[in-house]
Amino acid sequence: MEFRTTTGEDHLALGDLNFVVRIAQTLRIQMRTGLGFNWLTDSSGADFGFNFTCGADVILVKPLALLSVID
């Protein structure tokens, strides 16, 4: 992602990388959890951090599904 200003250029990069494992599964529900690493860099510097992620997929009525993630 790049933003331009009237005085020059400004750069911004955001990203994350998660390692996720499935912890439970039935015919209608799948649950997962994991750890991750996220970063932000711009022309002023950089910041890094770790995160925890948890998610679930629920099949309501095929082909409709409800997906949720907490990061």
DSSP 27: S
Summarised one tens digit per residue, pLDDT across range 44-53 is 889 999 999 9
Number of domains in the chain: 1
- Is residue 39 within 8 A of residue 48, CB to CB? The reply is yes
Summarised one tens digit per residue, pLDDT across range 9-43 is 778 899 999 999 999 999 999 999 999 999 999 88
Range of the domain at 44: 2-70
Given a cut of 60, whether residue 5 has pLDDT beyond it is no
pTM higher than 0.85, yes or no?
A: no
Counted residue by residue, the chain has a size of: 71
Beta carbons within 8 Å of 46's beta carbon, 6+ residues apart: 39, 40
